[in-house]
Structure 1
Amino acid sequence: MDKLKIVVIGAGIGGLTAGIALKQAGYEVEIYDRIKEMRPVGAGISLWSNGVKVLNYLGLGPQIAQIGGQMNRMEYRTKTGERLNEIDLMPLIYKVGQRPYPVARRDLQTMLLEAFGGEVKLDHQCVGVEETADSVTAFFENGHQATGDLVIAADGIRSILRTYVSEQEVTPTYAGYINWNGLVAADETLAPKDCWVIYVGDGKRASLMPVGGDRFYFFLDVPLPKETPDHPETYQAELREHFRGWAMPVQVLIDRLNPYEVARPVIHDVGPIDRYVRGRVALLGDSAHATCPDMGQGGCQAMEDALVLRRYLMTTNLGVEYALKRYETERIERANAVVRKARKRAEQIHGKDPEVTQQWYDQLASEPPSDVTDAISNVILAGPLR
């Protein structure tokens, strides 16, 4: 297609990756976000090989390798520290052709901003869109308007534009647990520096994952009512109570974390929904398919969205709306399957049915490591870059 002007709403991982991909394709791209300053949501992200491959495709392979953690194996342990399973990730890496890179969100966002290179217009709250036969205009709360050939709604799980595309309200669904996450200095008293260690028990998890800068990205999951009060000054006391009697590295982690640098998302997902596109407006990333983080695929799916959207815009001459429908057809099958699978896994991990969770613990203790890596590789290899 001729040179297009593309308006992107949202400067998270999906919006920035889309901006980079579409700018590289020769299109004019403007990115807007409602926030007043760029701050990443959450401390870290487990970027699996399908997401890394998108970055490689966009020429960002050296940069992500520099900021990503060297994760060579995984360990599952009981809450008191007994090893359930040890999984060498090298067979997975060779099977899919790329190592995963757990990464601090701030480092990833900085890398993507530098790669985009253009201005991201902040403090622009999108409140709606209007379409004509050959253009679409985004309207902002501050009175600004942006007109282009298409609008990409990468405005997250609480998307304003999802209602326009779906023509109905889609409310995020509570996944049943709260997650505390942050960064701490890597230390062998917590975990080996090349290993992702996950402690499990009572429907809870405590996890340490290596990221760049000689740090661990940690998270602690607890099934709780979503209305549970949120007070950073009591995080450590709450976590000590939730993880009383757990292994010493978990206790050390809770002692070392800075509660005022900890994110505490109440975990929700979205969908699966049956429309990602309406006319010249396309949902991308969490606005279309926010997933429970239990498969580490949220950011990866947003990156895949960006690549597939670029491909259809570049390879069709039947118009923007046709290209977007092709994008929708491919992505709705792939991403909705991940939403379903991640929700099922969240329920399995977090004790929605205690019997199912206990069966999972028993399975961890007996299954061959290849079963774990095969399941991960199946998800990775179902993406657009095999």
Structure 2
Amino acid sequence: MKVIIVGAGIGGTSAGIALQRLGHDVVIYDQMRENKPVGAALSLWSNGVKVLNWLGVGPEVAALGGDMADMVYLDGLTGETLCDFSLAPVTAQSGQKPYPVARADLQALLMERLGNERIHLGRKMVGIAQDEASVTVTFADGTTDSADLLIGADGARSITRAYVQPDGAPEIVREYSGYTNFNGLIPVDSSIGRATAWTTYVAGGQRAAVMPVAGDRFYFWFDVVQEPGLPYDRAEGVAPLREAFAGWAPGVEALIDAIDPAVSLNRVEIWDITPFSTWTKGRVAILGDAAHNTSPDIGQGACSALEDSFALGIAFATNTVSVADTLRRYEAIRAERAGELVLRARRRGFETHAFDPEATAAWYESLRGADGVGIIRGIVGNIEGSPVNLGAGVLLD
């Protein structure tokens, strides 16, 4: 069976590998002209890593991942340690160690494993048509391609998402999450945080954090609560961070000082989409951000896309009635869980960004002297319902 996938991101490439391993002929198209992922890095919690293990790239992913052994919260203004605890229980309960990884490194690995010759860049999809026998994609340059199946992994502004919605369905609208994220990569610096810890500074509904990735680097990110659409010129560099985090602890000052905007600094407004139930139409389905655009507040965005790839692969390995039937079964496996993760991230963002000041103050107080049990319970709770766990994702002593 020939499969067209639109989108060469983490979701699209992992889905391609899953279907290729089943013997299908996979081709990927993407409008980007070179591998320049949005965002410097991502959190691969245990559910996401397990999918990558299943895809046959586990050792390579482990080599790309940072040794994130502990989690530390600090008062953003004073630098006082609020809590400091091991993440080993996450590994013990889930059966897999989590890894932060540089997004470009992971995407390059997946593209190479699929086969770069199967990935065609600079091809923007502008139209979809299907009949009983095939689906045809039209590109902006006027060319077309046809296949038995189309997977739209074409991101938050997906064309495929609009195509699969039933006639008369409400318009699906992206919603602003209330903050902008600045992120990038810097060398590990002990004045900011330990090389083996996810360190987060919190105050006033804003956060500054670092996570270790391979190559003795930190992935850093800042959350700045602000209105959408504010102008930003890359020539401003870190000036907005100096303004938003003025008076913060020395570790945050050191983090801002360590950023070289010419090397690695991204600015992304954070939006999500309220969950919806229709992911398929005949021979066409959506996957990843096209299906469940979420904020990064629980670190499950990439993991959820990887879960899509797992579910899609399992559906095609086990169901044979028709392409449309198999895609509906994929939708049934994924839509409810993926939607719940979107809502969990939204609730978490509401709590951490002081949109309810009392709730945020209570969260800060709960961090003071915490042993990590409650936080780990939340992390594992996001993992345990994953389809990759086959109903046995959490083992407690």
Name the TM-score, length of structure 1 as normaliser. 0.97
The question of 1:328 aligning with 2:326 is answered: no
Counterparts of 1:363-374 in structure 2, within 5 Å, are 363-365=366-368, 367-374=370-377
Q: Distance in 2 between matches of 1:130 and 1:237?
A: 47
Alignment partner for residue 7 of structure 2, among 5, 10, 18? 10
Match for residue 224 of structure 2? 222
The question of 1:276 aligning with 2:274 is answered: no
Alignment partner for residue 103 of structure 1, among 101, 104, 123? 101
Letter of the 1:63 partner, please give it: E
Match for residue 90 of structure 1? 88
Q: Distance in 1 between matches of 2:370 and 2:134?
A: 54
Match for residue 176 of structure 1? 178
Q: Distance in 2 between matches of 1:51 and 1:213?
A: 21
Q: Distance in 2 between matches of 1:270 and 1:150?
A: 25
Letter of the 2:180 partner, please give it: I
Q: Distance in 2 between matches of 1:235 and 1:268?
A: 22
Report the Cα offset of residue 366 of structure 1: 5.2
Q: Distance in 1 between matches of 2:165 and 2:364?
A: 39
Match for residue 317 of structure 2? 314
Letter of the 1:362 partner, please give it: E
Match for residue 256 of structure 1? 258
Alignment partner for residue 48 of structure 1, among 32, 36, 45? 45
Q: Secondary structure of the equivalent of 2:346? A: helix
Which blocks of at least 5 consecutive residues in structure 2 are unaligned?
A: 390-397
Spell out, residue by residue over 1:23-79, the C-alpha distance to the aligned partner (whole angstroms, 9 max, x if none): 111001010001122211111101111000000011111100101000001001111
Match for residue 54 of structure 2? 57
What is the RMSD of the two structures over their aligned residues, measured on CA atoms? 1.1
Q: Secondary structure of the equivalent of 1:113? A: helix
Match for residue 345 of structure 1? 348
Report the Cα offset of residue 361 of structure 1: 0.9
Q: Distance in 1 between matches of 2:34 and 2:151?
A: 21
Q: Distance in 2 between matches of 1:215 and 1:37?
A: 23
The question of 1:186 aligning with 2:155 is answered: no
Spell out, residue by residue over 1:99-131, the C-alpha distance to the aligned partner (whole angstroms, 9 max, x if none): 111011111111111111142111111112111
Count of matched residue positions in the alignment of Structure 1 and Structure 2: 383
Q: Is the 8 A contact 2:179 2:227 kept in 1?
A: yes
Spell out, residue by residue over 1:136-187, the C-alpha distance to the aligned partner (whole angstroms, 9 max, x if none): 1111111111111110000000111111112453221110000100000012
Spell out, residue by residue over 1:168-225, the C-alpha distance to the aligned partner (whole angstroms, 9 max, x if none): 5322111000010000001212211000000011110000100001000000101101
Letter of the 2:239 partner, please give it: A
Q: Secondary structure of the equivalent of 2:136? A: strand
Q: Distance in 1 between matches of 2:285 and 2:307?
A: 14
Q: Distance in 2 between matches of 1:328 and 1:368?
A: 39
Q: Distance in 1 between matches of 2:29 and 2:186?
A: 32
Report the Cα offset of residue 378 of structure 1: 1.6
Q: Distance in 2 between matches of 1:98 and 1:11?
A: 26
Q: Distance in 1 between matches of 2:40 and 2:51?
A: 21
Which blocks of at least 5 consecutive residues in structure 1 are unaligned?
A: none
Letter of the 1:160 partner, please give it: I
Instruction: Report percent identity of matched pairs.
Output: 45
Letter of the 2:8 partner, please give it: A
Alignment partner for residue 290 of structure 2, among 287, 290, 307? 287
Q: Distance in 1 between matches of 2:255 and 2:357?
A: 26
Match for residue 31 of structure 1? 28
The question of 1:380 aligning with 2:379 is answered: no
Q: Distance in 2 between matches of 1:109 and 1:15?
A: 10
Report the Cα offset of residue 367 of structure 1: 4.3
Letter of the 1:372 partner, please give it: I
Q: Is the 8 A contact 2:277 2:336 kept in 1?
A: no
Runs of 4+ in 1 over 3 A off after TM superposition: none
Letter of the 1:140 partner, please give it: F
Match for residue 16 of structure 2? 19
The range that moved more, 172-181 or 84-93, is 84-93
Match for residue 146 of structure 1? 145
Q: Secondary structure of the equivalent of 1:205? A: strand
Q: Distance in 1 between matches of 2:135 and 2:30?
A: 18
Q: Distance in 2 between matches of 1:242 and 1:212?
A: 29
